[in-house]
Structure 1
Amino acid sequence: MNVKLLRAFDTKKLEEYLAPYKAECMFICSNLKAVGIEYRGEDFQGEYFGYLNPTSNNLYGVIVHYWNGNIMMHAINYQVLEHLVIELKNNIKRPVAGILGPNKQAEEVINHLGLFNANYNLNVKESLYKINLETLTESIIPNNFAVVKAQDISRELLINWMKSYDIEALGASNNDELEKEVEAHWNTRLKTNDNWVLLYDGIPVSLCAFNARIEEMVQVGPVWTPPEHRNKGFARLILTQMLVQEKAKGTKKAILFTDNPAAIKVYKNIGFNKIGEYRLALLEKPIKIKEIKI
């Protein structure tokens, strides 16, 4: 078999493989850029397994098991993907929490791992959208609005918003464990400057963030407006402002994935176009793959 655990000296090879597929693999590209290819148990790190062509020694695919239990993948065909999953199953040491990636490939991984009958908080096919930021025009924010960093609003409010987001958008259960998970997640997220809140007359009304970033592209998520502030254009206003800001920095593109009809309408009005399909499969509880009986 031509699959191996990738090391630091394989980084350039992996970057070259991922280059044509960045929009489908933004989490992988962003994590690789931020923390490197080797796993030492830290946030955003993962174990990267790559399939190398025996003749050219070029990469033909990659599958990653990340620090948080999520598995992500990309391969040039299903035969390569099958080899990658076999190697992952033989070497996996930590539980699996979710499977994310291009829809068909993620479905294949779910099936090969024996997770098709598992219990999920969320297991959906979402549409993948992209916008060329050069198409955006300057947007003037009205005087009674302001955009601030998420760090500058009430921590209690932010955590409550993100708990509600996880329940509504990700199928999470409303319990004490969720509070701990959201706290831990946003402790990490707030170390970056990619999270903003829209204020209307000084009152927080909507949140927008980027959850992955490389030099020329950002990935949008989450975008959240609490129910009492919806249908007033707040999400569109803050997202447009942040994309215009990214354009000014030289960022060329933005992507996102969603299955929410109301959100899709907003994103299309901004200028996003559908480019593919993405699967988001989040298990109710992490599962040890080697204990699954297929």
Structure 2
Amino acid sequence: MAWTFTSDLDEFPDAAAAWLRRDPVRNTVPLTVIRRLQHGLWREGAMLGWLTTGGEVRGAVLHTPPYPLLLGDIPLDSVPSLADALGERDLSGVNGPLTQVEAFVAVCGRPETSRISHRLYRLETLQRPPSPGGTSRLAGEADTGLAVRWMGEFQAEADPLSPSDNLLPQVEERIGHGEFVLWEDGGQPVALAGFFTPIMGMSRIGPVYTPPELRRRGYGSVVTHAATRAAQEAGADLVLLFTDLANPTSNSIYQALGYRPVTDYAIISLARRG
């Protein structure tokens, strides 16, 4: 059992990418991060790793600083050797399936300082929510400033440890690929939802954001429904989303739309080295 690492995306073997694609549900985040790397985002300091056993790839991980280490659905027995191999790497935290993340924290030698608990949902049959009025449209170039501001506000609420000082390239890239949906009411944007261009027929919804003063009016439900339909129209037959387990409102909203729980994930922050 051996881990291999590279900072060159072109050196990431096809077999490792194929291992991620074999389960696009549980490996949804690594797959979308690799897509972003291919589009030129987050390359500075990036590291890609893969596990080989008996000549076959059995796992993959990614690290795009300053974001946490990102685990695919790797074998549990590979976690100690991964932690040992990355012992000298500066990690702010670890993100991935709950069982693997907790196993990594248990052996990495650095205590947990905080965590965000997520639940992965998968769409079964999309249900149309009651409309509060208004209509959806794709965000365009003129919406870039608004999308950057709302993305920053979303991250400040949902994941305050994630960097939010340079969201412009990410937002421009997603708007350019038609991945942001706005809900407008009275001619004014009132909510935003994103979706990722399908990979192997899989798309993930996110972010979903309504400004605080416009909440509890149904905008979050309708913009999520609109983004889900946009993902399906883009070719997704498998649509996923993450919810924050600390937010029961969003969990109930997504279940009412037809999303059903798959498994739990976590982002765990690690104490800095002394």
TM-score, normalised relative to structure 2 = 0.82
The residue number in structure 1 matching 2:15 is 13
Could you tell me how far apart the structure 2 residues matched to 1:85 and 1:129 are?
A: 28
Number of equivalenced pairs: 267
Q: Considering only aligned residues, what root-mean-square deviation do their CA atoms show, in Å?
A: 3.1
- The Cα of 1:9 is off from its aligned counterpart by 6.0
What secondary structure is seen at the aligned counterpart in 1 of 2:228?
Answer: helix
Matches within 5 A, 1:184-199: 186-187=171-172, 189-199=174-184
Task: Measure, in 2, the Cα distance between the counterparts of 1:58 and 1:77.
Answer: 13
Residue 152 of structure 1: aligned partner: 142
From 251, 262, 271, give the equivalent of 1:275: 262
Deviation of 1:183 after TM superposition, in Å, equals 4.8
The alpha-carbon distance between structure 1 residues 74 and 214, as it changes in their structure 2 partners (threshold 3 A), is same
- Residue 39 of structure 1 is matched in structure 2 by none
Helix, strand or coil for the counterpart of 2:123?
strand
Q: Which residue of 2 aligns with 1:240?
A: 225
Q: How big is the shift at 1:279?
A: 0.6
Distance apart, 1:113 and its partner CA:
2.9
8 A Cα contact 1:127 1:274, kept in partner = yes
Q: Aligned-pair distance for 1:62?
A: 1.9
Q: Among all aligned residue pairs of Structure 1 and Structure 2, give the percentage whose two residues are the same amino acid.
A: 19
Cα separation, partners in 2 of 1:211 and 1:242, compared to 1, 3 Å: closer
Matched residue SS, 2:178 = coil
1:162 counterpart residue number: 151
For structure 2, list consecutive stretches of 5 or more residues without a partner in the other structure. none
Q: Is the partner of 2:268 in helix, strand or coil?
A: strand
Partner of residue 64 from structure 1, selected from 62, 65, 80? 62
Structure 1 stretches lacking a partner, 5+ long: 37-41
Is residue 2:252 matched to residue 1:257? no
Q: Is contact 2:119-2:265 (8 Å) kept?
A: yes
Larger radius of gyration, structure 1 or 2? 1
Equivalent residues of 2:127, 2:257 under 8 A apart: no
* 1:219 Cα offset (Å): 1.2
SS at match of 2:153: helix
Which residue of structure 1 lines up, in the alignment, with residue 160 of structure 2? 171
Shift of 1:249: 2.9
2:22 and 2:29 mapped to 1: Cα distance? 14
* Larger CA deviation: 261-270 vs 244-253: 244-253
